[in-house]
């Protein structure tokens, strides 16, 4: 005997164990009331079970036209007459684009990748169409694991699903408590596990084009913010969102360790190779302050011994430009970054740019929120953050710029063998700067004697 038949004998036909009302009829009536669909509206139920929701709704709203999608042929065979039956996966239904007023997903999303379900739902809906998500949620990784192990179901944090739904172009219209548990011994027993999940029913509206269908790229640095983005968008990443990382050739070991950990589970991890040590050899030592004499032009006239480059010249050529060029080469339309307003008070790009759109999921997060989130999802947080208090971790081990980062302290604690070399670079920079400061002071003195 199939599980559905055992449940049916106990008065359970809807396979969503928590409902909006005490009876299945009232649940369906309440849902129809909330949805307020126009006469003759087309509705598709993705992962429809035995079609019980349709059967109940048909009795109340016979004008609605139903399409039922399921990969289970036996369940489809139990579905009511008068509905279009489609044996297919809910992430690839083959149904025509933009033809449904409503999509219903009830206790089914977790059998597939959530970003793919949302993408398919967005594709099927007309503009302004409604999506019902009647689902289980969990924010703790151990409860999520329970869902995967016991139910074979991917349970996500409600916030993560909401972010992905926003990216799929949806706005939340309303949220409803589904606090009525289905009857019977089978449900009672299952409830021991099910009670660990959060659950609820949300109605969303297709408000914008779906970003999940665009050629997108997540820019990963191995630092805390892009790591939080990676985990926030994990279902999309698992569904194939490419993750790009620039290896400068001198990336600090702690970041390399984080990168190694995440690339084990990221299906499309793309490495952009740079060679910052060779670049510095050719162009100069990075410094937060440079002098005319130490730049490439000054070098043409041998005006001083040391050649310096600005900190951002080095970062641009070895980190940002290789990444930017690769975005263009790969035809990326949407770049996702972990940049936050809390970093410096202003973000360089957000929304449309002349090259691609930029999406910042953490725009309004604080540093503390990022650390809390990484802890919550069990992400590999770099030990650098225990030693290092600047807005971002150092990128390159042998960098002699970014003096406000507190790198000396970091090196002393984690790489003491690198301190001396760092000190020599800083002393060389200082020697050059002090010559110019002496010239500046002498000029000022000359001016003062004029008064």
Ligand X SMILES: C[S@@+](CC[C@H](N)C(=O)[O-])C[C@H]1O[C@@H](n2cnc3c(N)ncnc32)[C@H](O)[C@@H]1O
Give the nearer residue to ligand X in terms of CB position, either 89 or 287.
89
Residue 58 in contact with ligand X, rule: CB under 6 A = no
Torsion on CA atoms 441, 446, 448, 451, rounded to nearest 10: -170
Give the nearer residue to ligand X in terms of CB position, either 72 or 288.
72
Least gap, CB of 226 to ligand X (angstroms): 31
Give the nearer residue to ligand X in terms of CB position, either 122 or 252.
122
Residue 69 in contact with ligand X, rule: CB under 6 A = yes
Residue 85 in contact with ligand X, rule: CB under 6 A = no
The residue range among 106-114, 311-319, 349-357, 371-379 that interacts with ligand X, by the rule CB under 6 A, is: 106-114
296 Cβ contact partners less than 8 Å away, ≥ 6 residues apart: 283, 284, 307
Residue 144 in contact with ligand X, rule: CB under 6 A = no
Cα–Cα distance, 265 to 243 (Å, whole number): 11
Name the CA radius of gyration of the chain, rounded.
29
The candidate with the shortest Cα–Cα distance to 134, out of 57, 48, 7, is 48
Q: DSSP for 411-448? A: HHHH-GGGHHHHHHHHHHHHHHHHHHHHHHHHHHHHHH
Residue 114 in contact with ligand X, rule: CB under 6 A = no
Torsion on CA atoms 86, 88, 93, 99, rounded to nearest 10: 10
Residue 129 in contact with ligand X, rule: CB under 6 A = no
Least gap, CB of 145 to ligand X (angstroms): 19
Residue 254 in contact with ligand X, rule: CB under 6 A = no
The residue range among 107-115, 161-169, 355-363, 415-423 that interacts with ligand X, by the rule CB under 6 A, is: 107-115
Residue 49 in contact with ligand X, rule: CB under 6 A = yes
Which residue among 47, 169, 284, 286 contacts ligand X (CB under 6 A)? Answer: 47
Which residue among 7, 12, 15, 131 contacts ligand X (CB under 6 A)? Answer: 15
Torsion on CA atoms 95, 100, 102, 108, rounded to nearest 10: 0
Q: What's the Cα-to-Cα distance from 246 to each of 219, 226, 320, rounded to whole Å?
A: 9, 13, 8
The residue range among 44-52, 142-150, 165-173, 206-214 that interacts with ligand X, by the rule CB under 6 A, is: 44-52
Least gap, CB of 51 to ligand X (angstroms): 8
Residue 288 in contact with ligand X, rule: CB under 6 A = no
The candidate with the shortest Cα–Cα distance to 103, out of 197, 210, 4, is 210
251 Cβ contact partners less than 8 Å away, ≥ 6 residues apart: 222, 259, 395, 396, 397
Give the nearer residue to ligand X in terms of CB position, either 48 or 216.
48
The residue range among 66-74, 141-149, 181-189, 262-270 that interacts with ligand X, by the rule CB under 6 A, is: 66-74
Least gap, CB of 72 to ligand X (angstroms): 4
Tell me the longest C-alpha to C-alpha distance in the chain.
Answer: 105
The residue range among 67-75, 197-205, 316-324, 360-368 that interacts with ligand X, by the rule CB under 6 A, is: 67-75
Beta bridge partners of 271: 245
Q: How many residues bind ligand X (CB under 6 A)?
A: 19
Residue 112 in contact with ligand X, rule: CB under 6 A = yes
Cα–Cα distance, 365 to 374 (Å, whole number): 13
H/E element, 331: none
Residue 52 in contact with ligand X, rule: CB under 6 A = yes
| DSSP label of 395 | S
403 Cβ contact partners less than 8 Å away, ≥ 6 residues apart: 288
Least gap, CB of 40 to ligand X (angstroms): 23
The residue range among 8-16, 36-44, 183-191, 245-253 that interacts with ligand X, by the rule CB under 6 A, is: 8-16
Least gap, CB of 69 to ligand X (angstroms): 6
Residues found near ligand X in the complex (CB under 6 A): 14-16, 47-49, 52, 69-72, 75, 89-90, 106-108, 111-112
């Amino acid at each position: 005997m199939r599980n559905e038949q055992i449940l049916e004998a106990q008065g359970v036909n809807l396979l969503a164990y928590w409902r909006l009302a005490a009876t299945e009829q009232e649940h369906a009536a309440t849902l129809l009331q909330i949805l307020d669909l126009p006469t003759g509206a087309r509705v598709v139920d993705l992962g429809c079970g035995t079609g019980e929701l349709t059967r109940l709704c048909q009795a109340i709203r016979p004008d609605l036209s139903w399409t039922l999608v399921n990969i289970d042929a036996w369940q489809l065979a139990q579905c009511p007459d008068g509905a279009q039956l489609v044996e297919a996966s809910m992430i690839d239904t083959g149904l025509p684009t933009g033809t449904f007023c409503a999509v219903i997903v009830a206790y089914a999303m977790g059998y597939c990748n959530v970003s793919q379900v949302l993408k398919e739902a967005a594709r099927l809906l007309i503009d302004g169409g409604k999506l019902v998500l009647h689902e289980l949620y969990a924010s703790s990784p151990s409860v999520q694991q329970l869902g995967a192990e016991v139910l074979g179901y991917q349970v996500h944090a409600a916030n993560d699903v909401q972010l992905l739904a926003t990216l799929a172009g949806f706005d939340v219209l309303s949220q409803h408590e589904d606090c009525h548990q289905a009857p019977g011994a089978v449900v009672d027993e299952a409830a021991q596990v099910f009670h660990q999940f959060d659950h609820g029913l949300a109605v969303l509206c297709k408000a914008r084009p779906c970003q999940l269908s665009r050629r997108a790229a997540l820019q990963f640095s191995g630092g805390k913010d892009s790591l939080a983005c990676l985990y926030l968008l994990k279902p999309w990443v698992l569904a194939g969102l490419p993750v790009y990382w620039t290896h400068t050739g001198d990336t600090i070991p702690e970041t390399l360790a984080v990168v190694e950990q995440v690339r084990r589970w990221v299906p499309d991890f793309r490495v952009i190779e740079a060679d910052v040590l060779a670049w510095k050899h050719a162009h100069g030592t990075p410094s937060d302050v440079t002098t005319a004499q130490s730049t490439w032009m000054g070098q043409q006239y041998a005006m001083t011994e040391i050649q310096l480059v600005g900190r951002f010249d080095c970062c641009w050529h070895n980190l940002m430009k290789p990444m930017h060029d690769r975005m263009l080469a790969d035809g990326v339309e949407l770049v996702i970054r972990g940049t936050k307003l809390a970093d410096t008070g202003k973000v360089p790009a957000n929304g449309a740019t002349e090259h691609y759109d930029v999406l910042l999921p953490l725009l309004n997060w604080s540093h503390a929120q990022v650390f809390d989130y990484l802890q919550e999802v069990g992400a590999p947080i770099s030990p650098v953050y225990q030693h290092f208090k600047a807005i971002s971790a150092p990128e390159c081990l042998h960098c002699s710029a970014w003096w406000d980062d507190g790198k000396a302290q970091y090196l002393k604690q984690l790489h003491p063998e690198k301190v001396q070399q760092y000190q020599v670079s800083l002393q060389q920079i200082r020697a050059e700067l002090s010559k110019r400061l002496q010239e500046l002071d002498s000029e000022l003195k000359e001016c003062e004697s004029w008064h």
